[in-house]
């Protein structure tokens, strides 16, 4: 007798493909019977809801319709993601300009290229304890600012913002690595730091833990920098173009789904990654925890630029960030492309929204 077993994620994938068939676009009826595995490199120590729109396509049938299954891999840091992409250890990785642009400016950029912007600026803030005397970014001069770690995106981005305000990020403030998530909130709460620079989903984790904080008002003229991107090797983009289009299309559909019904998206995520739910929480509490974590991020899935399509890259973000750091790159075409965007967006967005509204988990 044959011993046949099916994993929870395989069941979800099979069930989701039928429910989503009308929303998936031209490839939905012709997906490969044996889907390819796409390894996604993420600069986190463990997978969490901050990359929800890159993962839930597995549960919603979007990945299966494009002939692949995704394997999320938390590799611990942005530099590690870059190395994993360059070596071919992952097919797709998350590109972070604050790490990549200095390499590009030196003329040492490798063969990776960004092809889809999965979250747009601006996602960083600075928090203080309730009732703090610090009321603006100008008040941060001479203070101790906490960051999750010095490899986190909030560190270089907040440095750039302070520099833009005339505050020397090396001489006028002190920086302290306090850890990510709840430990960062605890450090602020206990006064280990005067303020905490962090990103949207990080603050969501702190808020979900019941730690109070106040967000300083963002300064005017905030530079539109710090978007995050999907990257792959340039050669793979040529040889596996349909697969990369499919990955981007799945992310675009998932983003559209989440914008239409965040609660449904949270349920889909928890079915894939039940281990991310707070220990001992009910289903309702777990869904709420995901929503608290991602509520700020979901708003950043759509491009803030008139006439742009989902995932389209604006190179002005790169030139702005480089100018803030006294850098220049003569050829940005080595770093990004929008050549896949039209094909990525070739799906019925209204059908995806209807699927989101009728999703029951």
- Cis amide prior to 296 (ω within 30 degrees): no
Mean pLDDT of 227-235: 97
Q: At what angle are helices 262-272 and 349-358 packed, to 10 degrees?
A: 70
**Tokens 């040492």 sit on residue:** 108
Please say if the pLDDT value at position 84 is more than 70.
Answer: yes
Instruction: Please check the confidence at residue 10 and state whether its pLDDT lies above 70.
Output: no
Non-local CB neighbours of 256 within 8 Å, separated by 6+ positions: 310, 349, 352, 353, 356
Q: Where residue 11 falls among pLDDT bands split at 50, 70, 90?
A: very low
pLDDT value at residue 250: 98
Question: In this predicted structure, what is the pLDDT of residue 310?
Answer: 98
- Whether the per-residue pLDDT at 29 is higher than 70: the answer is no
Closest CA to 346 of 240, 232, 245, 229: 245
The chain-wide mean pLDDT, for the chain, equals: 89
Smallest Cα–Cα separation from 342: which of 116, 29, 121?
A: 116
Same fold, 8-121+226-278+301-358 and 124-215: yes
Report how far residue 22's alpha carbon sits from residue 35's, in angstroms, rounded to the nearest whole number.
20
Instruction: Give yes or no for residue 9 having a pLDDT over 70.
Output: no
pLDDT band at 328 (very low <50, low <70, confident <90, very high): confident
pLDDT value of position 266: 97
Query: What is the tens place of the pLDDT at every residue in 127-150?
Result: 999 999 999 999 999 999 999 988
Please state the rounded mean pLDDT for residues 263-271: 97
More confident residue, 229 or 221: 229
**Owner of token pair 């974590």:** 293
Burial of 271 (C-beta count, 10 Å sphere; 0-12/13-18/19+): middle
| Mean local confidence (pLDDT), 242-268 | 98
Domain segments of the chain as ranges: 8-121+226-278+301-358, 124-215
User: What CATH number belongs to 8-121+226-278+301-358?
Assistant: 3.40.190.10
Query: Which range is least confidently modeled, 37-41, 196-200, 274-278, 328-332?
Result: 328-332
Both structure tokens of 33: 């019977």
Coil, strand or helix at 283? helix
For residue 311, give the nearest of 347, 348, 344, 353 by alpha carbon: 344
- What is the dotted CATH code of the domain comprising 124-215? 3.40.190.10
């Amino acid at each position: 007798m044959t011993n046949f077993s099916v994993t929870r994620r395989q069941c979800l994938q099979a069930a989701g493909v039928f429910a989503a068939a009308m929303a998936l676009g031209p490839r939905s009826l012709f997906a490969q019977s044996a889907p390819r595995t796409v390894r996604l490199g993420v600069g986190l120590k463990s997978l969490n809801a901050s990359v929800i729109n890159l993962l839930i396509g597995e549960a919603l049938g979007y990945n299966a319709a494009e002939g692949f299954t995704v394997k999320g891999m938390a590799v611990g840091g942005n530099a590690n993601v870059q190395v994993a992409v360059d070596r071919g250890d992952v097919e797709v990785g998350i590109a972070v300009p604050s790490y990549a642009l200095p390499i590009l400016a030196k003329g040492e950029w490798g063969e990776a290229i960004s092809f889809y912007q999965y979250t747009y600026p601006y996602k960083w803030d600075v928090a203080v304890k309730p009732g703090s005397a610090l009321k603006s970014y100008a008040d941060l001069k001479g203070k101790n600012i906490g960051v999750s770690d010095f490899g986190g995106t909030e560190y270089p981005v907040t440095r750039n913002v302070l520099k833009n305000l005339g505050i020397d990020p090396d001489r006028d403030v002190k920086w302290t690595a306090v850890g990510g998530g709840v430990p960062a909130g605890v450090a602020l709460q206990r006064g280990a730091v005067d303020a905490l620079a962090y990103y949207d989903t990080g603050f969501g984790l702190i808020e979900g833990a019941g730690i109070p904080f106040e967000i300083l008002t963002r300064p005017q003229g905030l530079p539109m920098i710090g978007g995050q991107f999907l990257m792959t090797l340039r050669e793979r983009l040529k040889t596996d173009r349909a697969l990369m289009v499919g990955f981007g299309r799945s992310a675009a559909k998932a983003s559209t789904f989440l914008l239409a019904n965040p609660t449904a998206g949270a349920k889909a995520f928890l079915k894939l990654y039940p281990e991310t739910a707070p220990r001992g929480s009910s289903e309702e509490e777990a869904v709420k925890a995901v929503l608290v974590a991602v509520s700020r991020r979901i708003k950043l899935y759509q491009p803030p630029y008139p006439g742009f399509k989902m995932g389209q890259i604006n190179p002005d973000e790169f030139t702005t960030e480089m100018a803030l750091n006294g850098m220049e790159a003569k050829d940005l075409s080595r770093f990004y492309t929008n050549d896949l965007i039209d094909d990525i967006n070739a799906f019925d967005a209204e059908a995806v929204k209807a699927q989101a509204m009728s999703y029951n988990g």
